[in-house]
Amino acid sequence: MVRVPDEIQLGNLARKAAGALTTAGFEHRIDIFRDVEVEDPVIRKILGQTHGVRVRITITAESLLLAKNGKGRSARK
């Protein structure tokens, strides 16, 4: 498991993920989890407290390929 800095840019993350996937094998995936606090007055009023969510980002070799169909998956199969 590797820690990812909060200030990493998407391009750097994609490059690091691509390097890790070429080393580990393209059948693997990378999962990144972030806990995010939702700062919304409406949610605070409904729940009576702030609300947190856990965000999961999954990076696979397929998801790193640029898709021409705009659906986030490779147009090539």
Domain borders along the chain are 10-64
Task: State the DSSP H helix or E strand holding residue 55, giving kind and residue range, or none if neither.
Answer: strand 51-60
Burial class (CB in 10 A: 0-12, 13-18, 19+), 64: middle
Q: Which among 20, 45, 43, 42 has a CA at the least distance from the CA of 30? A: 20
pTM: 0.53
pLDDT in tens, 12-70: 887 888 888 888 877 888 888 888 888 888 888 888 888 888 988 888 877 777 545 55
User: Which tokens belong to 8?
Assistant: 């990493």
Dihedral sign of CA atoms 41, 57, 12, 6 in order = positive
